Amino acid sequence: MRHRFYVLRSAFRVRTYLLFLFFLVLVLSPGLCGGEWRQAEGPRQWSFPRDHGSHSEYRTEWWYFTGNLADAAGKKYGYQLTFFRYGLTGRPRNPGNPWSVRDIYLAHFAITDASNNSFHYTDRASRKGPGLAGAAERKMDVTLLGWSAIMEKNTIRLKASFEGMELKLDLIPAKPAVLHGRGGLSKKGPLPGQASYYYSFTDLKTTGYLKRPGMKEAVGVSGTSWFDQEFGSNQLTGDQAGWDWFALHLGDGRDLMIYKLRKKDLSVEKESSGTLVEPGGTSRQISLSDIQIDVLGHWKSQKTKGKYPAGWRIRIPSARIDVTVKPLIPDQELANTVSAGITYWEGAVGGTGTSKGKSVKTEGYVELTGYAGTIGGTF
């Protein structure tokens, strides 16, 4: 089947929306460059469910959901639903006014249909305003123009829709929250503050409904999702070009997260690392020296000319993991998103390999940034 790639916003609408957004920020938020933000520098006393909520004392934060799903016929799907909060000023001029700009909220929404060889994405952005967007401080309750991620007791409910794309899912953690790095402090660079506080639900049992453009009606789906939350104020260094991030579910119940920060001189940042989560929920950090990744192929975007890795062999000798994964479809690139102004590849992957000497199937998600323009120095 010929590949179909749906871009749900035209270039004109992208430019117009960005200009309008920045006009609002500049005119209505005179304290744009002001404010003081806390840095991710030392140990943190975690408390859930409070820490599922917003941490507004830090400049940047995201709630990141990806998942591998299938319908009753066995057709495979992937999805991404991501919410970002970016602080413009810690000291808005009129904090009691709902139109006063303190934060900008962004969201990305994508669906992969492997059987249809198609990828669909859209995004949106807004100030908080009166009921437009926001994130609760003491629980997971994130909303943006009708899209939402809300945790009720032990269930996370996701909802998003736009021009033929629909997602309505319930996610239930099968394992406890996992802290990455050292007690949740995930280093991204050598200097103080070049870090984030980072935790995940790596195994979320997922059920619900999904629809892509072209479907007559939504289909029931089930599978496994992954949730990341990070917050900080100054992660990357100016010499970093981008990163490769892997979130993998192994068939024996183990989960593996790896992030590799690439520098502009083609070397790898020594702060790169990973986390291995065992079936019972225990976890341990994996150092860069114990991570071996071989790129097995590439895919070149006809739209942006970016050249991305498109297949990997991943080995963790200390954990006896040796798996090979590849994209479910090659083209899962989010090009020039209106809300972030960057291009990156984020897609569902699958493969096979061994874990502790036994054959396993593998599925998950991979994110690749900096292959269609560098993003060093940004958060």
Query: Using one digit for the tens of pLDDT, what is the confidence trace for 22-52?
Result: 434 433 333 333 448 999 999 999 999 999 9
Higher pLDDT, 109 or 95: 109
Q: Is the pLDDT of residue 161 over 90?
A: yes
Give the residue among 265, 269, 250 at the shortest CA–CA distance from 351. Answer: 250
Superfamily of domain 4-38+48-369: AttH-like domain (2.40.370.10)
Supply the pLDDT for residue 46.
97
Task: Identify the bridge partners of residue 286 per DSSP, sorted by sequence position.
Answer: 274
Percent of the chain surpassing pLDDT 90: 73
- Confidence band (pLDDT; 50, 70, 90) for 341? low
d(CA 36, CA 358): 51
The region that residue 223 occupies, defined by phi over 0 for left and psi between -120 and 50 for alpha, beta otherwise, is left
pTM for the model: 0.88
Distance CA 209, CA 216 (A): 13
pLDDT averaged over the chain? 87
Counting runs of H as helices and runs of E as strands, what totals does the chain give? 1, 26
- Tell the burial category of 153 from Cβ atoms under 10 Å away from its Cβ (0-12, 13-18, 19+): exposed
What single-letter amino acid sits at 113?
D
Q: Where are the domains of the chain?
A: 4-38+48-369
- The band of 189, judged by pLDDT with boundaries at 50, 70 and 90, is confident
* Listed range (84-93, 212-221, 316-325) with the worst mean pLDDT: 84-93
Confidence class for position 338, pLDDT limits 50, 70, 90:
low
pLDDT exceeds 50 at position 68: yes
Residue 195, both tokens: 């870090």
pLDDT at res. 15:
33
CA atoms within 13 A on the CB side of 274: 25
pLDDT band at 342 (very low <50, low <70, confident <90, very high): confident
Strand 147-152, strand 103-113: pairing: unpaired
> What whole-number distance in Å separates Cα of residue 87 and Cα of residue 103?
4
- Helix (H) or strand (E) run with residue 64 in it: strand 60-71
Length of the chain: 379
First to last CA, the chain: 38
